[in-house]
Amino acid sequence: MAHPHLDVRRAVRMALADLEDGATVLVACSGGADSLSLAAATAWVAGRSGLRAGAVCVDHGLQPRSAERARSTAAALCGLGLDPVVTVHVDASHGPDGPEGNARAARYTALTATATRVGAAAVLLGHTLDDQAETVLLGLARGSGPRSLSGMADRSGVLRRPLLGLRRGVVRAALPAGPTPWEDPHNDDVTYARARVRHRVLPVLEAELGPGVAAALARTAELARADADALDAEAEAVLAAVGTDGPLPVDHLAKLPRAVRWRVLRRAAIAAGSPATDLTAAHVAAVDALVTAWRGQAGIDLPGGLRATRRDGVLRFTAQR
């Protein structure tokens, strides 16, 4: 960790290399250490490469002091040389994923909408290699498939994660002097699984298996993403050929590799009205058994009042009255 400032600036420079002169980038800033370090590096890079840099803070209204925090973050960012901060208020009290999940979904929607509104070419997020490794470990512990194990993408639409290849320690060692980062109390609260992975599981893995474990987990994420992309594309192609909303020929489904067939069945069930958040791997496996191990059973009930049935050589998803 000889030159953390250089490492962070290089990572930001590379992530922004394709932007045209005069383009605007926004740093998504929570006020935490990672996004403050990212903001400082982005201000430095933008100042030397003809880009405009601003910042955006999302106020979820979840923590009582969040408005005050947003104000002090804004002041710190202006001090780092970024344009005045855009603060966006979102309502995270509704949604299917609990307060944290709803806040995350609302945040990504708000960040993307803000980029469109201000004409920004990219919004930068401060996720690090440690965040990626934690996500992979949490996915492994849940028995996730390659899509979940692929963690966070370095690019997704307008969102970019320049620090995904850097350890959190490097990012924090490059923190600018002056602003005091705000620490989200959840980060250290070991009642949360992610905090336990961060403070207890990953350190033990590194002590026992070597310091390269986090980078290895991040590599797993990259490999899993490539596999998941290929399998998803194949499933899409199958559905494009047979049609998403009609009956699915069982003979055709039975010949597909299981990983592709599961994806086809999941997509078809969602297209027919089963909510993606409620449709589990066990539901999909039960529908799969109608294809591969059918012994005349009547059908499978699915979330959203849907029923999967097999008759006359085709599989159908129908809404139950």
Binding residues for ligand ATP (CB under 6 A): 28-30, 32-35, 57-58, 107, 125-127, 131, 184, 187
The residue whose Cβ lies closest to ligand ATP is 32
Query: Residue 151, annotated ligand binder?
Result: no
Burial status of residue 287 (CB atoms within 10 A of its CB: 0-12, 13-18, 19 or more): buried
Tell me the CA end-to-end span of the chain in Å, nearest whole number. Answer: 63
CB of 287 to ligand ATP, least distance (A): 34
Q: Which is nearer to ligand ATP, 187 or 320 (CB)?
A: 187
Query: Residue 93, annotated ligand binder?
Result: no
Query: Residue 144, annotated ligand binder?
Result: no
Q: Which is nearer to ligand ATP, 35 or 102 (CB)?
A: 35
Rg from Cα positions in the chain? 23
CB of 321 to ligand ATP, least distance (A): 43
- Yes or no: say if 194 and 134 are a contact pair by the CB < 8 Å rule: yes
Distances (CA, A) of 202 to 94, 102, 207, 297: 33, 26, 9, 46
Query: 3-state SS of 204-219?
Result: HHHHHHCCCHHHHHHH
What amino acid is encoded at 2 in this protein? Answer: A
Q: Which is nearer to ligand ATP, 86 or 306 (CB)?
A: 86
Query: Residue 273, annotated ligand binder?
Result: no
CB of 32 to ligand ATP, least distance (A): 2
CB of 307 to ligand ATP, least distance (A): 39
Q: What are 6's two structure tokens? A: 């250089």
Q: Which is nearer to ligand ATP, 77 or 284 (CB)?
A: 77
Q: Distance between CA atoms of 216 and 224, rounded to whole angstroms?
A: 12
Query: Residue 30, annotated ligand binder?
Result: yes
In three-state secondary structure terms, 317 is strand
Q: Distance between CA atoms of 29 and 164, rounded to whole angstroms?
A: 16
Q: Distance between CA atoms of 66 and 61, rounded to whole angstroms?
A: 6
Query: Residue 35, annotated ligand binder?
Result: yes
CB of 37 to ligand ATP, least distance (A): 8
Q: Which is nearer to ligand ATP, 107 or 225 (CB)?
A: 107
Binding site feature residues for ATP: 30-35
Binding site feature residues: 30-35
